[in-house]
Amino acid sequence: MCWKVDDSLLVLSELVSNAIVASPPSELVRVEIAVTQSAVTFVIENRGRVDTAALSYDLPPAHQCSGRGLAVVRALTSEFDLRCRAGITRARAVIATTPQPVAKVDKVS
């Protein structure tokens, strides 16, 4: 298993930080971590509504001090999903720990 510790810690930090900022005061943030031979999966849940349609995964202007977290998470993960249902926001991020297969390209003559 090729454990991407730095990437994993950065993804976890970004998602937990976002959950804390988006949660009402004194609310708990739930973190679940699953490690298998092929992936590390993080699930972070918090109370608080996020307009997922309004989120941007693009990098902000260079002079802006924040707003890069979700772009970083998307760049480092093989899967990323963010949903809000019934007042609970749930982020799920998967970091593949084994090399991902490269799509086979047929040789064109």
97: left (phi over 0), alpha (psi -120 to 50) or beta: alpha
Asked whether residue 108 is domain-assigned, the answer is no
Q: How high is the pLDDT of residue 86? A: 86
Asked whether residue 106 is assigned to any structural domain, the reply reads no
- Average pLDDT rounded to a whole number, residues 55-78: 76
In a domain, 55, yes or no: yes
Q: Tell me the sheet residues that pair with 16.
A: none
Tell me the two tokens of residue 61: 């202007």
The full length of the chain comes to 109
At 7-23, the pLDDT tens digits run: 899 999 999 999 998 88
Please state the φ and ψ torsions of residue 59, each to the nearest 5 degrees: -75, 140
Confidence of residue 1 (pLDDT cuts 50, 70, 90): very low
At 46 the pLDDT is: 94
Q: Are 95 and 8 in contact (CB under 8 A)?
A: yes
87 HSE (CA, 13 A, CB side): 3
Quote the domain boundaries for residue 20: 5-96
pLDDT at 98: 73
10: left (phi over 0), alpha (psi -120 to 50) or beta: alpha
Quick one: average pLDDT of 61-90? 84
**76 in a structural domain:** yes
**CB-based burial of residue 45 (10 Å sphere; 0-12 exposed, 13-18 middle, 19+ buried)?**
middle
CATH number reported for the structural domain that contains residue 32 in this entry: 3.30.565.10
Q: Is residue 104 part of a domain?
A: no
DSSP assignment, residue 26?
Answer: T
In this prediction, residue 91 carries a pLDDT of 93
Number of domains in the chain: 1
